[in-house]
A = this chain, B = another copy of it.
Protein backbone atom coordinates (compact mmCIF):
# COMPACT_ATOMS: atom_id res chain seq x y z
CA UNK A 1 0.00 0.00 0.00
CA UNK A 2 1.34 3.37 -0.99
CA UNK A 3 1.21 5.93 1.81
CA UNK A 4 0.24 9.38 0.73
CA UNK A 5 1.23 11.86 3.40
CA UNK A 6 0.76 14.93 1.23
CA UNK A 7 -1.90 16.88 3.14
CA UNK A 8 -1.95 19.88 0.82
CA UNK A 9 -5.69 19.82 0.22
CA UNK A 10 -6.98 17.43 2.83
CA UNK A 11 -5.68 19.27 5.90
CA UNK A 12 -6.82 22.75 4.78
CA UNK A 13 -10.23 21.38 3.80
CA UNK A 14 -10.71 19.65 7.14
CA UNK A 15 -9.69 22.79 9.01
CA UNK A 16 -11.92 25.08 6.99
CA UNK A 17 -14.86 22.67 7.25
CA UNK A 18 -14.56 22.54 11.04
CA UNK A 19 -14.06 26.27 11.26
CA UNK A 20 -16.95 27.06 8.95
CA UNK A 21 -19.25 24.79 10.90
CA UNK A 22 -18.19 26.50 14.10
CA UNK A 23 -18.86 29.99 12.74
CA UNK A 24 -22.37 28.96 11.66
CA UNK A 25 -23.15 27.20 14.94
CA UNK A 26 -21.85 30.16 16.94
CA UNK A 27 -23.77 32.58 14.75
CA UNK A 28 -27.04 30.73 15.30
CA UNK A 29 -26.73 29.51 18.87
CA UNK A 30 -24.10 31.38 20.88
CA UNK A 31 -24.72 34.72 22.58
CA UNK A 32 -22.88 36.44 25.41
CA UNK A 33 -24.29 35.29 28.71
CA UNK A 34 -25.66 37.75 31.20
CA UNK A 35 -22.32 38.68 32.72
CA UNK A 36 -20.61 39.45 29.43
CA UNK A 37 -23.48 41.30 27.77
CA UNK A 38 -23.57 45.09 27.74
CA UNK A 39 -27.13 44.91 29.11
CA UNK A 40 -25.42 43.71 32.28
CA UNK A 41 -24.87 47.34 33.06
CA UNK A 42 -28.63 47.73 33.41
CA UNK A 43 -29.08 44.41 35.08
CA UNK A 44 -26.34 44.91 37.57
CA UNK A 45 -28.10 47.71 39.34
CA UNK A 46 -31.28 45.74 39.54
CA UNK A 47 -29.79 42.46 40.54
CA UNK A 48 -27.05 43.93 42.64
CA UNK A 49 -24.54 41.24 41.88
CA UNK A 50 -21.12 41.63 43.37
CA UNK A 51 -18.07 41.45 41.13
CA UNK A 52 -16.96 38.29 42.82
CA UNK A 53 -20.11 36.41 42.05
CA UNK A 54 -19.75 37.45 38.45
CA UNK A 55 -16.18 36.38 38.43
CA UNK A 56 -17.21 32.94 39.55
CA UNK A 57 -19.93 32.39 36.99
CA UNK A 58 -17.84 33.88 34.26
CA UNK A 59 -14.76 31.79 34.81
CA UNK A 60 -16.56 28.51 35.15
CA UNK A 61 -17.18 27.64 31.47
CA UNK A 62 -13.67 28.67 30.49
CA UNK A 63 -12.20 26.46 33.10
CA UNK A 64 -14.44 23.69 31.85
CA UNK A 65 -12.93 24.10 28.38
CA UNK A 66 -9.50 23.76 29.98
CA UNK A 67 -10.53 20.46 31.53
CA UNK A 68 -11.75 19.17 28.19
CA UNK A 69 -8.52 20.22 26.47
CA UNK A 70 -6.50 18.52 29.22
CA UNK A 71 -8.33 15.28 28.49
CA UNK A 72 -7.59 15.63 24.76
CA UNK A 73 -3.91 16.26 25.46
CA UNK A 74 -3.75 13.13 27.61
CA UNK A 75 -5.14 11.04 24.77
CA UNK A 76 -2.72 12.64 22.30
CA UNK A 77 0.09 11.22 24.43
CA UNK A 78 -0.82 7.70 23.35
CA UNK A 79 -0.91 8.28 19.60
CA UNK A 80 1.64 11.04 19.09
CA UNK A 81 4.15 10.44 16.34
CA UNK A 82 2.05 7.73 14.68
CA UNK A 83 -0.84 9.76 13.28
CA UNK A 84 -1.28 12.66 10.89
CA UNK A 85 -2.50 16.15 11.82
CA UNK A 86 -5.82 15.32 10.14
CA UNK A 87 -6.23 12.30 12.38
CA UNK A 88 -5.49 14.43 15.44
CA UNK A 89 -8.16 16.91 14.36
CA UNK A 90 -10.77 14.21 13.85
CA UNK A 91 -9.86 12.48 17.09
CA UNK A 92 -10.19 15.80 18.93
CA UNK A 93 -13.57 16.46 17.35
CA UNK A 94 -15.00 13.16 18.58
CA UNK A 95 -13.27 13.21 21.94
CA UNK A 96 -14.61 16.63 22.85
CA UNK A 97 -18.12 15.34 22.21
CA UNK A 98 -17.58 12.13 24.17
CA UNK A 99 -15.98 14.06 27.01
CA UNK A 100 -19.01 16.31 27.30
CA UNK A 101 -21.41 13.34 27.31
CA UNK A 102 -19.37 11.45 29.91
CA UNK A 103 -19.04 14.52 32.10
CA UNK A 104 -22.78 15.15 31.89
CA UNK A 105 -23.56 11.57 32.92
CA UNK A 106 -21.14 11.69 35.85
CA UNK A 107 -21.74 15.15 37.26
CA UNK A 108 -25.43 15.59 36.45
CA UNK A 109 -27.01 12.14 36.28
CA UNK A 110 -24.87 10.16 38.74
CA UNK A 111 -24.17 13.30 40.82
CA UNK A 112 -20.61 12.20 41.30
CA UNK A 113 -17.89 14.42 42.84
CA UNK A 114 -14.77 14.79 40.70
CA UNK A 115 -13.08 18.11 41.50
CA UNK A 116 -9.73 17.48 39.85
CA UNK A 117 -11.05 15.21 37.14
CA UNK A 118 -9.34 11.93 38.08
CA UNK A 119 -12.16 10.19 36.26
CA UNK A 120 -13.53 12.68 33.72
CA UNK A 121 -10.15 13.97 32.55
CA UNK A 122 -7.42 11.46 33.28
CA UNK A 123 -9.07 8.04 33.28
CA UNK A 124 -11.25 8.94 30.33
CA UNK A 125 -8.46 10.59 28.32
CA UNK A 126 -5.96 7.81 29.00
CA UNK A 127 -8.13 4.80 28.19
CA UNK A 128 -9.72 6.51 25.22
CA UNK A 129 -6.26 7.23 23.82
CA UNK A 130 -4.94 3.76 24.63
CA UNK A 131 -7.92 2.10 22.92
CA UNK A 132 -7.41 4.24 19.82
CA UNK A 133 -3.70 3.37 19.68
CA UNK A 134 -4.59 -0.31 20.12
CA UNK A 135 -6.89 -0.19 17.12
CA UNK A 136 -4.20 1.65 15.13
CA UNK A 137 -1.58 -0.99 16.08
CA UNK A 138 1.46 -0.86 13.80
CA UNK A 139 3.23 -4.17 13.41
CA UNK A 140 6.54 -2.79 12.16
CA UNK A 141 7.06 0.11 14.47
CA UNK A 142 10.48 -1.14 15.62
CA UNK A 143 11.86 0.34 12.41
CA UNK A 144 11.35 3.82 13.75
CA UNK A 145 11.76 2.80 17.38
CA UNK A 146 15.08 4.44 17.99
CA UNK A 147 13.55 7.80 17.09
CA UNK A 148 11.13 7.48 19.98
CA UNK A 149 13.72 7.57 22.74
CA UNK A 150 14.38 10.67 24.78
CA UNK A 151 17.15 13.15 24.07
CA UNK A 152 19.13 15.22 26.54
CA UNK A 153 18.21 18.72 25.43
CA UNK A 154 14.54 17.84 24.97
CA UNK A 155 14.52 16.26 28.41
CA UNK A 156 15.57 19.56 29.96
CA UNK A 157 12.88 21.19 27.88
CA UNK A 158 10.18 18.80 29.06
CA UNK A 159 11.33 19.37 32.64
CA UNK A 160 10.14 22.99 32.38
CA UNK A 161 6.73 21.59 31.56
CA UNK A 162 6.88 19.30 34.57
CA UNK A 163 7.81 22.20 36.88
CA UNK A 164 4.91 24.32 35.68
CA UNK A 165 2.44 21.45 35.91
CA UNK A 166 3.67 20.60 39.42
CA UNK A 167 3.30 24.19 40.59
CA UNK A 168 -0.12 24.75 39.07
CA UNK A 169 -1.64 21.37 39.91
CA UNK A 170 -3.00 22.50 43.30
CA UNK A 171 -4.79 25.38 41.56
CA UNK A 172 -6.03 23.02 38.86
CA UNK A 173 -7.51 20.48 41.30
CA UNK A 174 -9.16 23.21 43.35
CA UNK A 175 -10.37 25.36 40.46
CA UNK A 176 -14.00 24.28 40.40
CA UNK A 177 -14.44 23.45 44.08
CA UNK A 178 -16.75 25.62 46.16
CA UNK A 179 -15.00 28.71 47.45
CA UNK A 180 -13.99 28.40 51.06
CA UNK A 181 -13.04 25.24 52.89
CA UNK A 182 -13.48 22.86 49.92
CA UNK A 183 -11.12 24.85 47.77
CA UNK A 184 -8.54 25.17 50.54
CA UNK A 185 -8.61 21.44 51.20
CA UNK A 186 -8.29 20.64 47.51
CA UNK A 187 -5.13 22.73 47.22
CA UNK A 188 -3.59 21.38 50.43
CA UNK A 189 -4.34 17.74 49.62
CA UNK A 190 -2.93 18.07 46.11
CA UNK A 191 0.20 19.73 47.41
CA UNK A 192 0.80 16.99 49.99
CA UNK A 193 0.24 14.22 47.48
CA UNK A 194 2.56 15.78 44.91
CA UNK A 195 5.31 16.27 47.48
CA UNK A 196 5.15 12.66 48.63
CA UNK A 197 5.02 11.43 45.06
CA UNK A 198 8.28 13.14 44.13
CA UNK A 199 10.20 11.36 46.87
CA UNK A 200 8.89 7.87 46.09
CA UNK A 201 9.32 8.40 42.33
CA UNK A 202 12.97 9.22 42.89
CA UNK A 203 13.35 6.28 45.26
CA UNK A 204 11.74 3.81 42.87
CA UNK A 205 13.56 5.10 39.81
CA UNK A 206 16.88 4.66 41.55
CA UNK A 207 16.01 1.27 43.02
CA UNK A 208 15.06 -0.12 39.59
CA UNK A 209 18.31 0.88 37.88
CA UNK A 210 21.15 -1.56 38.24
CA UNK A 211 23.59 1.24 39.09
CA UNK A 212 21.04 3.22 41.08
CA UNK A 213 20.82 6.02 38.51
CA UNK A 214 17.76 8.20 38.01
CA UNK A 215 15.80 8.23 34.74
CA UNK A 216 14.57 11.59 33.45
CA UNK A 217 11.43 10.04 31.98
CA UNK A 218 10.37 8.85 35.43
CA UNK A 219 11.16 12.16 37.08
CA UNK A 220 9.25 14.08 34.41
CA UNK A 221 6.17 11.93 34.70
CA UNK A 222 5.83 9.94 37.90
CA UNK A 223 6.39 13.04 40.04
CA UNK A 224 3.05 14.32 38.76
CA UNK A 225 1.05 11.13 39.31
CA UNK A 226 0.22 12.21 42.85
CA UNK A 227 -1.71 15.17 41.50
CA UNK A 228 -3.81 12.89 39.31
CA UNK A 229 -4.50 10.42 42.09
CA UNK A 230 -6.01 12.94 44.51
CA UNK A 231 -8.09 14.53 41.79
CA UNK A 232 -11.41 13.12 42.93
CA UNK A 233 -10.84 13.16 46.68
CA UNK A 234 -9.00 16.50 46.73
CA UNK A 235 -11.92 18.48 48.09
CA UNK A 236 -12.94 15.79 50.59
CA UNK A 237 -11.64 15.33 54.15
CA UNK A 238 -8.83 13.05 52.96
CA UNK A 239 -6.59 14.50 55.69
CA UNK A 240 -3.01 15.65 54.99
CA UNK A 241 -1.50 12.30 55.98
CA UNK A 242 -4.02 10.54 53.75
CA UNK A 243 -2.85 12.63 50.82
CA UNK A 244 0.75 11.81 51.65
CA UNK A 245 -0.07 8.08 51.54
CA UNK A 246 -1.87 8.39 48.21
CA UNK A 247 1.09 10.26 46.68
CA UNK A 248 3.50 7.82 48.30
CA UNK A 249 1.89 4.82 46.62
CA UNK A 250 1.30 6.55 43.32
CA UNK A 251 4.94 7.50 42.85
CA UNK A 252 5.83 3.83 43.23
CA UNK A 253 3.09 2.46 40.95
CA UNK A 254 3.70 5.03 38.26
CA UNK A 255 7.45 4.41 38.08
CA UNK A 256 6.93 0.64 38.11
CA UNK A 257 4.52 1.14 35.24
CA UNK A 258 7.15 2.84 33.10
CA UNK A 259 9.67 0.11 33.74
CA UNK A 260 7.52 -3.00 33.51
CA UNK A 261 3.99 -2.26 32.31
CA UNK A 262 4.64 -0.19 29.17
CA UNK A 263 6.89 -2.83 27.55
CA UNK A 264 4.36 -5.52 28.55
CA UNK A 265 1.45 -3.62 27.02
CA UNK A 266 3.34 -3.25 23.76
CA UNK A 267 4.62 -6.81 23.43
CA UNK A 268 1.55 -8.67 24.71
CA UNK A 269 -1.45 -6.41 24.25
CA UNK A 270 -0.20 -4.56 21.16
CA UNK A 271 -0.80 -1.21 22.81
CA UNK A 272 1.91 1.22 21.72
CA UNK A 273 1.77 3.94 24.35
CA UNK A 274 4.08 6.66 23.00
CA UNK A 275 4.38 8.75 26.13
CA UNK A 276 3.44 6.23 28.77
CA UNK A 277 0.13 7.93 29.55
CA UNK A 278 -1.09 4.74 31.20
CA UNK A 279 1.45 5.38 33.96
CA UNK A 280 0.81 9.07 34.49
CA UNK A 281 -2.91 9.28 33.77
CA UNK A 282 -4.46 5.83 33.42
CA UNK A 283 -3.49 3.98 36.59
CA UNK A 284 -3.30 7.09 38.80
CA UNK A 285 -6.70 8.11 37.44
CA UNK A 286 -8.26 4.78 38.46
CA UNK A 287 -6.55 4.97 41.84
CA UNK A 288 -7.94 8.49 42.17
CA UNK A 289 -11.45 7.30 41.38
CA UNK A 290 -11.25 4.51 43.97
CA UNK A 291 -9.70 6.77 46.62
CA UNK A 292 -12.51 9.22 45.99
CA UNK A 293 -15.17 6.53 46.40
CA UNK A 294 -13.65 5.21 49.62
CA UNK A 295 -13.19 8.70 51.06
CA UNK A 296 -16.78 9.60 50.20
CA UNK A 297 -18.20 6.35 51.60
CA UNK A 298 -16.36 6.80 54.89
CA UNK A 299 -17.44 10.40 55.39
CA UNK A 300 -19.10 10.99 58.76
CA UNK A 301 -20.78 13.89 60.57
CA UNK A 302 -18.01 13.68 63.21
CA UNK A 303 -15.37 14.56 60.64
CA UNK A 304 -17.33 16.94 58.41
CA UNK A 305 -19.81 18.40 60.86
CA UNK A 306 -23.53 18.02 60.12
CA UNK A 307 -23.74 21.08 57.93
CA UNK A 308 -20.31 20.47 56.43
CA UNK A 309 -21.36 17.00 55.25
CA UNK A 310 -24.46 18.35 53.53
CA UNK A 311 -22.49 21.16 51.98
CA UNK A 312 -19.55 19.04 50.85
CA UNK A 313 -21.60 16.41 49.06
CA UNK A 314 -24.68 18.48 48.20
CA UNK A 315 -26.93 16.21 50.25
CA UNK A 316 -29.97 18.32 49.54
CA UNK A 317 -32.67 18.58 46.90
CA UNK A 318 -32.68 15.37 44.86
CA UNK A 319 -29.80 14.01 47.00
CA UNK A 320 -31.52 14.82 50.31
CA UNK A 321 -31.81 11.18 51.34
CA UNK A 322 -28.31 10.14 50.26
CA UNK A 323 -25.83 8.76 52.77
CA UNK A 324 -22.06 8.82 52.37
CA UNK A 325 -22.28 5.14 51.37
CA UNK A 326 -24.65 6.02 48.54
CA UNK A 327 -22.23 8.66 47.37
CA UNK A 328 -19.37 6.15 47.46
CA UNK A 329 -21.40 3.65 45.45
CA UNK A 330 -22.19 6.22 42.79
CA UNK A 331 -18.56 7.28 42.64
CA UNK A 332 -17.70 3.69 41.64
CA UNK A 333 -20.49 3.72 39.06
CA UNK A 334 -18.98 6.90 37.69
CA UNK A 335 -15.59 5.25 37.33
CA UNK A 336 -17.11 2.25 35.53
CA UNK A 337 -19.15 4.44 33.20
CA UNK A 338 -16.01 6.43 32.37
CA UNK A 339 -14.06 3.28 31.53
CA UNK A 340 -16.93 2.01 29.41
CA UNK A 341 -17.28 5.28 27.52
CA UNK A 342 -13.52 5.42 26.94
CA UNK A 343 -13.36 1.88 25.57
CA UNK A 344 -16.47 2.11 23.37
CA UNK A 345 -15.58 5.57 22.11
CA UNK A 346 -11.98 4.58 21.52
CA UNK A 347 -12.97 1.58 19.44
CA UNK A 348 -15.32 3.58 17.23
CA UNK A 349 -12.94 6.51 16.77
CA UNK A 350 -10.02 4.13 16.23
CA UNK A 351 -11.91 2.37 13.44
CA UNK A 352 -12.74 5.70 11.81
CA UNK A 353 -9.08 6.71 12.01
CA UNK A 354 -8.03 3.46 10.31
CA UNK A 355 -9.69 4.56 7.08
CA UNK A 356 -6.82 4.86 4.63
CA UNK A 357 -7.26 8.43 3.41
CA UNK A 358 -6.25 10.50 6.47
CA UNK A 359 -2.65 10.87 5.33
CA UNK A 360 -1.16 8.67 8.08
CA UNK A 361 2.60 8.04 7.98
CA UNK A 362 4.09 4.70 7.01
CA UNK A 363 5.58 2.59 9.80
CA UNK A 364 9.14 3.58 8.95
CA UNK A 365 8.27 7.29 9.02
CA UNK A 366 6.69 7.36 12.44
CA UNK A 367 8.18 9.80 14.98
CA UNK A 368 9.58 11.92 12.16
CA UNK A 369 8.64 15.58 12.09
CA UNK A 370 9.86 15.91 8.54
CA UNK A 371 6.78 14.08 7.26
CA UNK A 372 4.36 16.84 8.19
CA UNK A 373 6.63 19.76 9.02
CA UNK A 374 8.89 21.83 6.83
CA UNK A 375 12.22 21.43 8.65
CA UNK A 376 14.90 24.12 8.23
CA UNK A 377 17.38 22.76 5.74
CA UNK A 378 21.02 22.12 6.41
CA UNK A 379 21.02 22.59 10.14
CA UNK A 380 19.82 20.63 13.06
CA UNK A 381 20.33 20.60 16.74
CA UNK A 382 21.71 17.24 17.44
CA UNK A 383 24.60 15.28 16.15
CA UNK A 384 26.78 12.93 18.07
CA UNK A 385 28.35 10.16 16.08
CA UNK A 386 28.16 6.80 17.78
CA UNK A 387 30.43 5.15 15.32
CA UNK A 388 34.08 6.17 15.17
CA UNK A 389 34.07 5.56 11.43
CA UNK A 390 30.95 7.66 10.96
CA UNK A 391 30.95 9.79 7.84
CA UNK A 392 28.11 12.22 7.48
CA UNK A 393 26.33 11.58 4.22
CA UNK A 394 24.01 13.64 2.11
CA UNK A 395 21.15 11.58 3.46
CA UNK A 396 21.62 12.88 7.02
CA UNK A 397 18.25 14.52 6.99
CA UNK A 398 17.59 15.91 10.42
CA UNK A 399 14.48 14.27 11.72
CA UNK A 400 12.71 14.98 14.91
CA UNK A 401 9.35 14.65 16.60
CA UNK A 402 7.39 17.44 18.17
CA UNK A 403 6.96 17.34 21.89
CA UNK A 404 3.46 17.63 23.21
CA UNK A 405 2.40 20.35 25.64
CA UNK A 406 2.21 17.70 28.37
CA UNK A 407 5.53 16.35 29.59
CA UNK A 408 6.39 12.95 28.27
CA UNK A 409 9.05 10.67 27.04
CA UNK A 410 9.96 13.21 24.41
CA UNK A 411 11.30 11.83 21.24
CA UNK A 412 13.73 14.00 19.37
CA UNK A 413 15.88 11.51 17.55
CA UNK A 414 18.69 11.66 15.03
CA UNK A 415 19.23 9.75 11.94
CA UNK A 416 22.86 8.66 11.44
Residues of A within 8 A of B (CB): 6-13, 15-16, 18-19, 22-23, 26-27, 30-32, 35-42, 44, 51-52, 54, 58, 62, 85, 149-157, 160, 163, 179-182, 184-185, 187-188, 191-192, 196, 199-200, 202-204, 206-207, 209-216, 237, 239-241, 244-245, 248, 303-309, 311-312, 371-388, 390-394, 396, 398, 400, 402-403, 405, 413-414
Copies of this subunit: 3
Given contacts A152-B381, A379-B384, 11 further A-B contacts (CB under 8 A): A7-B212, A23-B241, A32-B181, A41-B312, A51-B52, A153-B382, A213-B372, A215-B374, A380-B384, A386-B394, A388-B393
- Is the Cβ of B151 less than 8 Å from the Cβ of A26? no
**Chain B residues whose CB sits within 8 angstroms of the CB of A239 once the complex forms:** 31-32
Do A35 and B181 have beta carbons less than 8 Å apart?
Answer: yes
Say yes or no: B184 contacts A38, CB within 8 Å: no
Q: List 23 A-B contacts (CB under 8 A).
A: A7-B206, A12-B204, A18-B199, A23-B244, A23-B245, A23-B248, A37-B181, A38-B182, A39-B304, A41-B180, A42-B306, A51-B52, A85-B206, A85-B214, A149-B377, A152-B380, A155-B376, A213-B371, A213-B373, A378-B384, A384-B398, A386-B394, A388-B391
Q: A23-B245, A181-B38 are in contact. Are A156 and B156 (CB under 8 A)?
A: no
Cβ contact within 8 Å between A184 and B58: yes
Partner of A376, one of B8, B152, B188: B152
Task: Flag if B19 contacts A248 (CB, 8 Å).
Answer: yes
B-side contacts of A40, CB under 8 Å: 180-181, 308
- Contact between chains at A305 and B213 (CB < 8 Å): no
Once the chains are docked, how many angstroms separate the CA of A156 from the CA of B181? Answer: 41
Q: With A180-B41, A240-B30, A311-B38 given, is the CB distance from A390 to B392 under 8 Å?
A: yes
- In angstroms, how far is the closest chain B Cβ from the Cβ of A224? 16
Tell me whether B211 and A303 are in contact (CB under 8 A): no
Of chain B, the residue at the smallest CB distance from A252 is: B16
B381-A153 in contact (CB<8A): yes
Contact partner of A181 (CB less than 8 A), chosen from B36, B191, B307, is: B36
Which one, B23, B39, B305, B387, contacts A308 given CB within 8 A?
Answer: B39
Which of the residues B179, B185, B309 comes within 8 Å of A51, measured between beta carbons?
A: B179
A371 to B213, CA, bound (A): 7
**Contact across chains for B305 and A42 when beta carbons are under 8 A apart:** yes
Interchain CB contact under 8 A, B8 and A212:
yes
Q: How far is the CA of A303 from the CA of B42 in the complex (A)?
A: 12
Query: What is the CB-to-nearest-CB distance from A72 to chain B, in angstroms, rounded to a whole number?
Result: 13
Within the complex, the shortest CB–CB distance from A57 to chain B, in Å, comes to 9
